């Protein structure tokens, strides 16, 4: 397999995982890519590796440009295994190369692999490294989304190798956003942010500020997953959206997430949707029996109101609801106004577990609403009033 030149002397040498369908519970029906980049200069530099089972694709692309014995540096922007899985194999082929990373990255590499004999060159945010005609500038981005995460900026090419920032789990034949449908790529970028980086909004804001403080002039963003953003319009669009998503600002929308056994909880969800529609509030409704949790989370970026409905099963949360609540809590959305609701057969109170999650997240909320078995018209009217009360908060 051949490397692809993305800028003069800068090659994409990554791998495309067409068959990836799931990533830590995040549905990836269109696969993903593991992007690595080769910088041809006086000191040839490889930036990142790939997942272990995609190694041969990565290695063959590198070999199409240069022999491993000529590589001077291997930059490790992130040690998670979809980026570093084949770094040990690379280091066996290029033992003369220095591994460029930060202190946390070195510690993580040592925890994952046998690094005996590896030469490390440790950097901190703002440090630079000359590789000949090019200067690499490093920006550490701890907890975006691992302690070791960092980005590498190629000054002369105005190229940001952005690691997990600005990426998408999206695999198509194209390599650039300009060769795909822009809106589709942006939706995948939004989904990636919502399912991977949502808990780290403060860190994302800090990274954007650091990039500004360092005076980075960016005309291309090459992430570790998905397509490459090129040109001012694309770069400004994705950076602008990251600023919005990271801020925690929402668009005042509503999202209703529920499951149902015999239609009772679904009936309540329908009433809630009608209330928002009557109030002119954009609303989406997701039944967990047909929607993957990761398909729902992008709506949380835009939502002010969150309603979660549960049909009690064996005096517990319904399994799909429990799974969603656990997944959602881990992503820690902020600044929501919430209501838990549901149905039960013989013992009420299970929805209080959902309410506890709202409390743990610091959301504004009103007490949960439950009904035994099928809600009649008078109960539906009471629930309507409950949702109207929520909107007034």
What are the residue numbers of the active site? Answer: 24, 78, 80, 82, 145, 164, 192, 225
Of 176, 128, 177, the residue nearest 155 (C-alpha): 128
What's the Cα-to-Cα distance from 81 to each of 73, 84, 169, 208, 268, rounded to whole Å? 19, 5, 15, 25, 43
Nearest partner of 152 among 73, 94, 230, judged by Cα: 73
Go through the chain and tell me how many residues it has: 393
Cα separations (Å) of 384 from 265, 275, 354, 370? 13, 7, 20, 13
Spatial separation of the C-alpha atoms in residues 62 and 36, rounded to whole Å: 10
What is the three-class DSSP state of 98?
Answer: strand
CA dist., res. 84 & res. 388, Å (int): 50
Q: What stretches of the chain show up as alpha helix (H) in DSSP? A: 55-63, 81-84, 87-93, 103-112, 182-192, 201-213, 232-247, 264-278, 293-302, 319-331, 352-361, 377-392
Spatial distance between the Cα atoms of 352 and 308, rounded to a whole number of angstroms: 11
Q: Identify any residues that bridge with 99 across adjacent strands, giving them in sequence order.
A: 74, 120
């Amino acid at each position: 397999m051949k490397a692809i030149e993305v800028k003069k002397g800068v090659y994409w040498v990554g791998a495309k995982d067409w068959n990836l369908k799931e990533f830590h519970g995040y549905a990836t029906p269109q696969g993903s890519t593991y992007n690595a980049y080769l910088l041809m200069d006086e000191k040839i530099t490889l930036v990142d590796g790939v997942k272990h089972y995609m190694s041969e694709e990565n290695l063959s692309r590198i070999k199409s440009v240069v022999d491993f014995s000529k590589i001077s540096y291997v930059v490790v922007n992130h040690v998670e295994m979809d980026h570093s899985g084949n770094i040990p194999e690379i280091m066996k082929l290029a033992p003369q190369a220095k591994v460029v990373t930060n202190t946390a990255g070195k510690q993580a590499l040592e925890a994952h692999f046998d690094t005996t004999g590896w030469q490390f060159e440790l950097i901190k945010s703002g440090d630079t490294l000359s590789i000949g005609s090019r200067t690499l500038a490093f920006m550490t981005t701890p907890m975006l989304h691992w302690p070791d995460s960092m980005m590498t900026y190629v000054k002369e090419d105005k190229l940001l190798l952005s690691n997990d920032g600005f990426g998408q789990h999206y695999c198509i034949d194209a390599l650039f956003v300009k060769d795909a449908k822009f809106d589709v790529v942006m939706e995948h970028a939004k989904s990636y942010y919502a399912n991977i980086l949502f808990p780290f909004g403060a860190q994302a804001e800090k990274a954007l500020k650091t990039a500004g403080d360092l005076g980075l002039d960016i005309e291309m963003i090459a992430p570790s997953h998905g397509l490459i953003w090129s040109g001012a319009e694309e770069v400004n669009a994705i950076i602008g959206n990251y600023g919005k998503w990271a801020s925690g600002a929402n668009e005042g929308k509503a999202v209703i997430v529920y499951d149902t056994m015999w239609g009772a909880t679904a009936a309540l969800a329908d009433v809630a949707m009608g209330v928002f529609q009557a109030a002119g509030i954009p609303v989406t409704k997701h039944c967990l029996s047909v929607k993957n949790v990761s398909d729902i989370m992008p709506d949380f970026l835009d939502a002010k109101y969150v309603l979660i409905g549960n049909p009690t099963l064996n005096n517990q949360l319904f399994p799909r609801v429990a799974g969603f609540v656990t997944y959602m809590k881990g992503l820690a959305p902020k600044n929501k106004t919430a209501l838990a609701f549901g149905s039960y057969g013989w013992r009420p109170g299970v929805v209080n577990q959902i309410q506890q999650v709202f409390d743990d997240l610091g959301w504004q909320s009103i007490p949960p609403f439950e009904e035994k078995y099928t809600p009649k018209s008078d109960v539906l009217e009471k629930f309507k009033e409950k949702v109207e009360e929520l909107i007034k908060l």
